Amino acid sequence: MKKILFVAGSGGHTAQMSRLLRNMGDNYDIKLMLEHTDNLGREKFAPRYEMHCAIPIRGKNESIVMTLFRIMLNLLQSLRILIETNPEYIITTGPGLGIPICIFGKIAGKKIIVIESWSRTKTRSFVGKLLYPFANLFFVQWPQMLEKYPKAKFAGRLA
Amino acid sequence: MIFVTVGTTAFDSLIEKVDSIAYQIDDKIICQIADGKYVPRHCEYFRFKSTVEQEFAGADLVICHGGAGTLFYLLELNKRIVSVPNLERKDKHQTDLIDTLSAENYIVSCYELSELRTIVVLSKDLCLKKYQNSECHIAEEIIKFIEA
């Protein structure tokens, strides 16, 4: 079975991942990476998937020291998750906490698949902008976004 | 019943506004406030529930933030929606989707909280379009890519 790591984060990112997972079938060894505070997401997926948690890289109104601490911790968590799960593919619906693991994954030769958020109808997200140049497959969920990401694919919306 | 929901991120200015206009609105109002600091005094409220399906089902109108998860879910339920972008968030991306969906006449947008009461009252008589779930082939495309 091919191993895939799904990076979902929390809130709307998890909702999109949940809809995608329904259509992925049972032929893959799927593991999830979520934000450590996403209790609703964890409850929902616990019976079915192995889950790994990480800390988000941005907090609310935090000092630069705290942000640096978050990033350092996330880097360590991402490395550990990457080694433990050792996926061939990393699929992300675009939470910030997934940036480091996608970069580490790319360096380690994994294939990176990025789905730009369904909330992006006109402007690019920070994560989208950053991961677009090296994603192996990149989806947008609104056709007009193909102007912003010429190499992306539009294959409908997860809603 | 009017159900007000903020999703996972607190949206105090919306809840405070709703609370302040509650007495001018005839319908019963229930608020989901997440970990907001402001606690409503004139309407029922709760913070989180594992499922809000019951509240959604019973609502004639839902006032919500601009989170896509909430918006798409409600559109599929064919609910009447007034959406207010949560600009208290660190990422101010919610206007993108609200702009697009309200331009298509699927939802009613409210960019100024001072206009919320008027918009809520007027929204009852507006004729909104039914959202059609687009066909999604993202999973198929991914499987094709993996198996190629």
**Nearest residue of chain B to residue A14 (CA atoms):** B69
pLDDT at B92 exceeding the cut of 70? no
Task: Report residue B64: phi and psi, to 5°.
Answer: -140, 170
Distance CA B76, CA B66 (A): 15
Instruction: Report the pLDDT value the prediction gives residue B91, as an integer from 0 to 100.
Output: 61
Half-sphere exposure of B94 (CA within 13 A, CB side): 26
Q: How far is the alpha carbon of A63 from chain B, nearest alpha carbon, in Å?
A: 14
Residue B93 touches chain A, beta carbons under 8 Å: yes
* Chain B nearest C-alpha distance from A123 (Å): 7
Closest chain B residue to the Cα of A13, Cα to Cα: B69
What pLDDT, on a 0 to 100 scale, did the predictor assign at position A74? 95
**Which residue of chain B comes nearest to A91, CA vs CA?**
B142
Q: How many pairs of residues across A and B have Cβ atoms under 8 Å apart?
A: 104
Q: Does B96 lie at the interface with A, CB-CB under 8 angstroms?
A: yes
pLDDT digits (tens, 9 = 90+) for A77-108: 999 999 999 999 999 999 999 999 999 999 99
The partner residues of A50 in beta bridges, in order of sequence, read A31
Mutate which: B96, B133, B138, B144, vs A, most A CBs within 10 A: B138
What are the tokens at B135? 């066909």
**In the numeric block, which tokens belong to residue B141?**
């495309």
What are the tens digits of pLDDT across the range B48-80? 998 889 999 999 999 999 988 899 999 999 999
Q: What is the pLDDT of residues A105-135, one digit of tens each?
A: 999 999 999 999 999 999 999 999 999 999 9
User: What mean pLDDT, rounded, does chain A reach?
Assistant: 92
B15 neighbors B1 (Cβ within 8 angstroms): no
Query: Which residues on chain B are in Cβ contact (under 8 Å) with A157?
Result: 134, 136
